[in-house]
Structure 1
Amino acid sequence: MSIKDKLAGSVLGFGTAPLGNMFRNIPEAEAAATVHAAWESGIRYYDSAPFYGAGLAEIRLGNALAGYQRDDYVISSKVGRIVLDEIVGGPQEFGEKGTLFQHGRKNKVINDYSADATLRSIEDSLKRLGTDRLDIVWVHDIAQDFYGDEWLARFEEARTGAFRVLTRLREEGVIKAWGLGVNRVEPVELTMDLQEARPDGFLLAGRYSLLDHERALQRVMPAALQNGMEIVVGGPYSSGVLAGGTHFEYQPASAEIMAKVARMKATAERHGVSIKAAALQFVLANPAVAAVIPGASKPERIAEDKLALAESIPADFWRELREQGLVAAAAPLPDDRS
């Protein structure tokens, strides 16, 4: 059974990172209303992580879903980080992700990809989510701060720890699938070549988007298809810059990125296309992609995503993007299927 088959038939899921107070302090009522809006719109796949606000997103998601039948939805969460009881005084620094969740809970968060930590992480997530099981488990941010030998040491710890534990849990039927949840292509490429502890697929955030997709096209997408491993795409709006925000890669977007986005938006406006629709439909046009999980912290954003997914986009728009070099020539486009 493929990843797509495990996602309750939904190609549009809900990424809950914003519910961890990413970038801003979100009121409890607003967070709950956003999850309920996702449910009412038909979304049945929800992705979270202990990292998101030091467990805040999981807690909020669990509270909001408590009134629904557990068999009616799919939850994925992540391992690789442990949320401690220890409280820290100031914002925690998370390398390339900076102080992304400075408005989250103040519990200290540490990296740990060992076997024992993997089991503890799952147990802690189940408590925060108020559920008896996780359907899919992603090994989180294994290549964060990619440089030198540090990430390779982290990968080796995960290979001999988290990977083996998750493989056993899948074989025992405790979880349905596992893979990596990362925002770099290098660990995905490396994991695909493993002969032991083979994952079912990957959550690739920010590396296959309308704005940034060239590297993933070179090997990740073709190799995923060849190996029967599907991709869930996170961050389709590139940290918000494709949806009216000013962040790219969790940081203020550079002038170069903003200029490229402006060109894309100008092209979209000429064809009467919303940039959100282009972003979502571009991702889903790739046959290796099982689902896309944009994040949201306001109910109205869910409605926008649903409309964007259904929007009709003329072939001339896609053709112009290619002609301007705004998308790679090899990138599958929705119009290619017609």
Structure 2
Amino acid sequence: MSLKKILPGRLGFGTAPLGNMFRAIPDEEARATVEAAWDQGIRYYDTAPFYGAGLSEERLGQVLAGKPRDEYVLSTKVGRVILDEHETAAPDFGEKGGIFEHGNPNRIVHEWTADATERSIEGSLKRLGVDRLDIVWVHDIAQDFHGDAWLGKFEEARTGAFRVLSRLRDEGVIKAWGLGVNKTEPIELTLALDEPQPDGFLLAGRYTLLDHEHALQRLLPMAQEQGVGMVVGGPYSSGILAGGAHFEYQQAPPEIIAKVDRLKELTAEHGISIKAAALQFSLAHPVADAAVPGATKPSRIAEDIAALDEKIPAAFWHDLRAAGLVSPAAPLPDGA
């Protein structure tokens, strides 16, 4: 089933921050943020076992337990099985460093086999306290976590997770499946397969104002041709486009800060927020069905909704193009 038929709107809630990403968030703050998302009409929630070793799923589930299950869409991911035992060594988060060092202490098994996929789903259902999932993404089978070994992980997923999720979709257990990654290559490889195809993909950080040219070269034309939808993860590039200091889950380098400063100058000239420009740019591509920015404070939800609804003059998009701040191939909201 196409993502567009499943997703309830263009704005969802990405719950990675609820897994104590970068900092320890009080339980009350996490709960209040999810409640704020619900109260303001957000009905799509994306999570993953990886986010704080199950902490994000647990916190999200505690709030959703009091909501009618038919009134929201829920996606999680496979590829990490959370064990009851605690980790004794420092966890390996690949290029992401200590992103979830404040999460649960549980040991994480990184595996994309058929058996691990089924165990991962079973664990997610338990932590979330629900009886079904709508969308399941195959998580992080890419270079940023596995380096040159990523193709081996991809093959493990192709013969394991892909087939399990295709079967579950065909049986009506889930509505859709796809890849949830921070790189374009695994999705391109999947779309080129003759095997059962994914319904969509969640691409984090690769279709933003700061990083979109690579996705436009091959992936997005392939997806558009095949009718495969995209959920945009990280539309604010880990926070740097929303007043934060992170880019790619690390402190932003000088060249990125310089580009953001240029973007801020242009948005100031037109009297608009950079957050609105970033979010609306990410959703302007025909393949983009929704975006799932993350949040850890209730006020951020209102900001995201305002950013989606903010009126941006066509002149801004023309000036953005003229300044060379976006790819000539990138679709813009006013068609420029």
1:49 and 1:77 in contact (8 A); partners too: yes
Deviations 1:139-170 (A, max 9, x none): 00000436764000000000000000000000
> Structure 1 residue 2 and structure 2 residue 2: aligned?
yes
Q: Distance in 1 between matches of 2:17 and 2:248?
A: 14
Counterpart in the other structure of 2:50: 51
Q: Distance in 2 between matches of 1:245 and 1:148?
A: 28
Deviations 1:23-66 (A, max 9, x none): 11101111011001101111100000000000000000000111
Deviations 1:246-276 (A, max 9, x none): 1111111100111111110111011101011
Counterpart in the other structure of 2:28: 29
Deviations 1:66-89 (A, max 9, x none): 111000000000001111122124
Give the direction of change, closer, same or farther, for the CA distance of 1:320–1:21 in structure 2 (3 Å limit).
same
Deviates most, 311-320 or 133-142 = 311-320
Counterpart in the other structure of 2:225: 226
Could you tell me which amino acid in structure 2 is paired with residue 171 of structure 1? D
Give the direction of change, closer, same or farther, for the CA distance of 1:256–1:205 in structure 2 (3 Å limit).
same
Q: CA deviation at 1:110?
A: 2.1
Q: CA RMSD in A?
A: 1.2
Give 5+ residue unaligned stretches, structure 1. Answer: none
Counterpart in the other structure of 2:202: 203
Could you tell me which amino acid in structure 1 is paired with residue 130 of structure 2? T
Counterpart in the other structure of 2:315: 316
1:96 and 1:144 in contact (8 A); partners too: no
Counterpart in the other structure of 1:294: 293
Q: CA deviation at 1:4?
A: 1.4
Counterpart in the other structure of 1:77: 76
Q: Distance in 2 between matches of 1:223 and 1:146?
A: 24
> Structure 1 residue 153 and structure 2 residue 152: aligned?
yes
Identity of aligned residues (%): 68
Q: Distance in 1 between matches of 2:148 and 2:97?
A: 21
What's the TM-score once normalised by structure 1's chain length?
0.97
Q: Distance in 1 between matches of 2:166 and 2:27?
A: 36
Alignment of 1:61-210 (within 5 A): 61-89=60-88, 91-145=90-144, 149-210=148-209
Count of aligned residue pairs for this structure pair: 336
Could you tell me which amino acid in structure 1 is paired with residue 65 of structure 2? A
Q: Distance in 1 between matches of 2:170 and 2:122?
A: 18
Q: CA deviation at 1:22?
A: 0.3
SS in 2 for 1:336: coil
Q: CA deviation at 1:93?
A: 2.5
What's the TM-score once normalised by structure 2's chain length?
0.98
Could you tell me which amino acid in structure 2 is paired with residue 164 of structure 1? R
Give 5+ residue unaligned stretches, structure 2. Answer: none
